């Protein structure tokens, strides 16, 4: 199951109504960014530390057969039906609709079915809100719930947060690790060229869903797992941070994540027709892909 290189893929068209590409992902404190988004990133920068990552890693472990609930993909979608991402400045949509928009955008561009399925699955790690709390940044029930450990741009914990590569860099000084000499250097706890997989990105739905798929022996290629694990790591794949920690092969892996993020971002559309009966019509197709790639039946979450 060896995919062709990203450079061979056709360009995509945005499906964002009247929005231009430049109008996506606008993060400022004085130009219309919703207050909930500003608060989200302030909390994320304040609380996403190395210690927090390790605590969440233990809480959501799949080691020795551990899991929190057995559910099918379809049952998990039902749980996510009313979840709306508090960190997204572009659109307020039920998460399932965004996942279908992403998957259908990839499908319409004639990309492989494993990539279509990746679009459908990529944000499902937000299911952590079922076991989280506001204190842990995983409250998905209340309208203004704290979600700073569910979504948002992720940065590497255990080393300096790069001012030049993150949104709201003015919040970096709020992070306790940035005042600890063990963690506030460009290398921090990491070795030079240690490689992408050695890095601990701020805990969120990406890392959890990657681990969930591995624990359930998903038959997806590594490119798909990378897209799921690293699609929120904008400082890395969009701004070029952490190159000193990457191995040679990581640069090719970055291209796949960049390809995926074009669909993740630019298929957002508040007037999209994928609602009601249309969503039900699409389900048999995607259910077939779920089964093809080893994710049918009850899964460990």
Residue 143 falls within a domain, yes or no?
Answer: yes
Parent domain of 82: 33-295
Mean pLDDT of 97-110: 92
Mean pLDDT of 53-74: 97
Residue 109 falls within a domain, yes or no?
Answer: yes
25 is annotated as contributing to ligand binding: yes
Residue 56 falls within a domain, yes or no?
Answer: yes
98 is annotated as contributing to ligand binding: yes
In this predicted model, what pLDDT tens digit does every residue of 71-91 receive, in sequence order? 999 999 999 886 766 665 555
238 is annotated as contributing to ligand binding: no
Residue 8 falls within a domain, yes or no?
Answer: no
In this predicted model, what pLDDT tens digit does every residue of 229-274 receive, in sequence order? 999 999 999 999 999 999 999 999 999 999 999 998 745 454 455 5
4 is annotated as contributing to ligand binding: no
Looking at 97-106, 142-151, 169-178, 263-272, which range is the least confident one? 263-272
Task: Give the whole-angstrom CA distance, residue 130 versus residue 137.
Answer: 12
126 is annotated as contributing to ligand binding: yes
269 is annotated as contributing to ligand binding: no
206 is annotated as contributing to ligand binding: no
Q: What is the pLDDT of residue 261?
A: 94
Task: Give the whole-angstrom CA distance, residue 123 versus residue 206.
Answer: 7
85 is annotated as contributing to ligand binding: yes
Q: Which residue has the tokens 């990657």?
A: 210
30 is annotated as contributing to ligand binding: no
87 is annotated as contributing to ligand binding: yes
Residue 194 falls within a domain, yes or no?
Answer: yes
Task: Give the whole-angstrom CA distance, residue 42 versus residue 215.
Answer: 32
In this predicted model, what pLDDT tens digit does every residue of 178-229 receive, in sequence order? 999 999 999 999 999 999 999 999 999 999 999 999 999 999 999 999 999 9
- Tell me if 290 sits within 8 A of 56, measured CB to CB: no
In this predicted model, what pLDDT tens digit does every residue of 24-54 receive, in sequence order? 445 566 666 888 889 999 999 999 999 999 9
Residue 272 falls within a domain, yes or no?
Answer: yes
Count of C-beta atoms within a 10 Å radius of residue 95:
23
Residue 207 falls within a domain, yes or no?
Answer: yes
Q: Please, what's the largest Cα pairwise distance for the chain?
A: 56
200 is annotated as contributing to ligand binding: no
SS3 state at 71 = strand
In this predicted model, what pLDDT tens digit does every residue of 114-135 receive, in sequence order? 999 999 999 999 999 999 999 9
Residue 1 falls within a domain, yes or no?
Answer: no
Look up residue 220 and give its two tokens: 């997806």
Whether 275 shows a pLDDT value over 60: the answer reads no
163 is annotated as contributing to ligand binding: no
Percent of the chain whose pLDDT exceeds 70? 81
Number of structural domains the chain divides into? 1
């Amino acid at each position: 199951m060896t995919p062709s290189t990203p450079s061979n893929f056709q360009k995509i068209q945005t499906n964002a109504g009247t929005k231009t590409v430049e109008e996506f992902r606008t993060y400022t404190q004085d130009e219309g960014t919703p207050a909930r988004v500003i608060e989200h990133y302030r909390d994320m920068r304040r609380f996403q530390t190395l210690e927090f990552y390790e605590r969440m890693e233990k809480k959501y472990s799949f080691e020795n057969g551990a899991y929190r609930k057995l559910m099918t993909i379809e049952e998990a979608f039902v749980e996510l039906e009313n979840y709306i991402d508090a960190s997204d400045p572009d659109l307020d949509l039920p998460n399932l609709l965004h996942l279908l928009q992403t998957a259908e955008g990839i499908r319409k561009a004639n990309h492989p079915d494993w990539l279509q399925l990746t679009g459908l699955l990529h944000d499902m790690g937000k299911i952590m809100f079922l076991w989280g709390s506001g204190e842990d940044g995983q409250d998905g029930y209340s309208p203004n719930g704290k979600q700073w450990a569910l979504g948002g741009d992720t940065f590497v914990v255990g080393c300096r947060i790069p001012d030049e590569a993150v949104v709201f860099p003015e919040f970096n000084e709020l992070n306790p690790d940035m005042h600890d000499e063990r963690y506030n250097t460009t290398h921090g706890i990491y070795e030079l060229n240690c490689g992408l997989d050695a890095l601990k990105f701020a805990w969120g739905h990406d890392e959890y869903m990657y681990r969930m798929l591995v624990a359930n022996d998903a038959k997806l290629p590594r490119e798909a797992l990378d897209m799921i694990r690293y699609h929120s790591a904008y400082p890395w794949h969009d701004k070029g941070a952490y190159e000193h920690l990457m191995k040679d092969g990581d640069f090719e892996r970055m291209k796949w994540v960049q390809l995926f993020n074009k669909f993740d971002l630019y298929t957002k559309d508040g007037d999209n027709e994928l609602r009601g009966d249309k969503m039900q019509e699409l389900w048999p197709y995607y259910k077939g892909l779920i089964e093809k790639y080893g994710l049918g039946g009850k899964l460990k979450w």
